[in-house]
Structure 1
Amino acid sequence: MNIFRSLLYFFFTGLCEIGGGYLVWLWLKEGKSIKYALLGWGLLMLYGVLPALQTANFGRVYSAYGGAFVIFSLLWGWKVDRIPPDSYDWLGTLIILIGASVIMYAPRN
């Protein structure tokens, strides 16, 4: 699998997980309609399927996805909740993404 396709899968996986979780959060914590929860649960189901489209093994995909989840969470908080990341957030994210990239994309025999 090429890296671009793999990154697209990570992007949509993150969107489904964080978006779905956020919709369920709004339903539970802020009294939004059950429609929010239903849509959130649907997105969370897709979150469970999308990583399986990656060609690497389960442990490697989910380890690398952890890095993607960190950046998606920070960006979601910044854009949706309007809480900007600080320099330590960005530094930590950079360190995590380097590690996730090594796990997922390092050449192997």
Structure 2
Amino acid sequence: MMNVLKSVSVFVLAGLLEIGGGYLVWQWLKEGKPIWYGVAGAFILAMYGVVATWQTVSFGRAYAAYGGIFILMALIWAWKIDGFKPDRWDVIGALIAVIGACIIIYMPRNR
């Protein structure tokens, strides 16, 4: 159970770094914010790459599963930060993606 909690924590931290870094770059390039937004965003995105390596599974499996977690986190970010209100199809799609991610990363395997 501790491995799952650690893994989920790493996914959440990685998601916050990727979404937050991307958001700052977006603000700089699309919304006319100062260049330091872009610089900070680039640094945060680089930190995302470091944090993602803390997963204990292979690169391919970690990134495939992370995609599902990212979908849910991106919708939550858009809702809480940008005021975007996800509809039921957004929620259903995100839940399907998260279920798929959990199957990819947490189901037992014959080794």
Pairwise TM-score range, normalised by the shorter structure: over 0.9
| Cα shift at 1:108 | 1.4
2:53 partner SS = helix
Equivalent position of 2:41 in the other structure: 40
Equivalent position of 1:61 in the other structure: 62
Equivalent position of 2:97 in the other structure: 96
| Cα shift at 1:57 | 0.3
Amino acid at match of 2:72: I
Unaligned residue ranges in structure 2 (runs of 5+): none
Q: Please, what TM-score do these two structures have when normalized by structure 1?
A: 0.96
Residues 1:77 and 2:86 are matched in the alignment = no
Unaligned residue ranges in structure 1 (runs of 5+): none
**Cα distance between partner residues in 2 of 1:108 and 1:80:** 38
Q: Deviations over 1:10-56 (max 9, x none)?
A: 00100010000000000001111111111101110011111111110
**Cα distance between partner residues in 1 of 2:49 and 2:15:** 11
| Cα shift at 1:5 | 0.5
1:56 partner SS = coil
**Cα distance between partner residues in 1 of 2:43 and 2:29:** 16
Q: Please, what TM-score do these two structures have when normalized by structure 2?
A: 0.95
Q: Which runs of 4+ in 1 moved over 6 A?
A: none
Residues 1:13 and 2:29 are matched in the alignment = no
Question: Taking every aligned residue pair, what percent have the same amino acid on both sides?
Answer: 53
1:54 partner SS = coil
Amino acid at match of 1:42: F
